[in-house]
Amino acid sequence: MDNRPIGFFDSGLGGLTCIAPLTRALPRERIIYFGDTARTPYGSKSPDTIRGFARQIADFLVQQDVKMIAIPCNTVSATCLADLQERFSDLPLVGIIHPAAETVAKTCTESNSIGVIGTKVTIRSRTYDEYIHRLAPSLSIHSAACPAFVPLIEEGIIENEIMDLTIRYYMDSFISYHKIDTLVLGCTHYPLILENLRHLYPKLRIINPSEEIVGCIKNRLDEQNLFAERETSAENIFYASDLSENFVNMINRIFKNTGFTVAFKNFDMEANKCG
C-alpha cells in the first residue's frame, strides 16, 4: 500500500478529461497534475522539443515524490514514452495510447472502419496504427490530424457554432470517404467536444482513451501493491505553467460536489519556480 500521489501531466488542460473517471474508480488516490499551458499545443512542435518538455515535467513530478506517472497526453505518449520509461525505470509509467489500442483490438472486427483523430505529431507517428495492428493486424484504420481543435478548446470555444464548423471541416469528408463507424479520440482535449461529435455524427461509436487509461492505471497499482491504504484529507494539487482562468474553471467543474480538496499552483517551468 502507498499513500503517495499519482502524477499526471499533459500539454495543457486536455489531460483533465481522465481525472473524473479516475476519481470515480479510485476515490482514495491523490493526484498531482501538471498542465503545460504556457507551451501548449505540443502537437505542432518537433519531437525533440516535445521530448525536452516531457523530461522536464517528469523530473518535476518525481521531485514531488509521486508513486506513478500517468501520461494522458497522446502526443507525448506517441513520441517519447519509451524514452521516459528508460529514464525512470524504477517508477511505473503509463501512457494513454496502448490501453485505447487494446480496446479497439478487442471490440472491433474486419467489418469496422476505424478512424483515429489527433494532433499532427500523433497522427504522423502512426503509433495508434502500430499498437492496434500489433494486436489485430487485419483491422482497417484511417487517421486524420485536426490541429485547430486544441487551441479552440484551450480558449473555451466549445459550445458554439465555431467549434461545430471546425469539426465539420475536418470530419465530414474523412468520415464519408472512409465510411468511418468507430472513432478514436487520439487527443485528451477531444473528449471536451464529445457532445459536439455525438450531435453531429450520432451513428458513430466513439472510443475515449481518457477513460481507457484508468483501467491501465488501476492494473499497475494492483500489480505493484501501490493502492492508497486509506482516504486522505491531503490536497489534490494542480500545477500549470500558465494558471489560466479556463484551467481553474475546468478543474472546479470536475471536482464540484465531490468533497475532494483541490489546490492550484502556478509553476514557471523555464524559471523552475512557483509564481
Phi-psi category of 272—alpha, beta or left, where left has phi over 0 and alpha has psi -120 to 50? left
73 is a catalytic site residue = yes
Q: What stretch of H or E contains 207?
A: strand 205-207
C-alpha to C-alpha distance for 58 and 9, rounded to whole angstroms: 8
C-alpha to C-alpha distance for 83 and 32, rounded to whole angstroms: 22
Q: What is the DSSP letter of 115?
A: E
C-alpha to C-alpha distance for 104 and 98, rounded to whole angstroms: 10
Q: And the C-alpha cell for 251?
A: 478543474
187 is a catalytic site residue = yes
Q: Which of 18, 80, 146, 187 is catalytic?
A: 187
C-alpha to C-alpha distance for 209 and 194, rounded to whole angstroms: 12
Q: Which of 73, 108, 146, 216 is catalytic?
A: 73
Query: How many helical (H) and strand (E) elements, i.e. helices and strands, does the chain have?
Result: 11, 11
Long-range residue pairs from 265-270, CB within 8 A, at least 24 positions apart, any chain: 265/237, 265/238, 265/239, 265/240, 266/239, 266/240, 266/241, 266/242, 267/34, 267/60, 267/239, 267/240, 267/241, 268/38, 268/241, 269/36, 269/38, 269/39, 269/53, 269/56, 269/57, 269/60, 269/241
Residues classed as catalytic = 73, 187
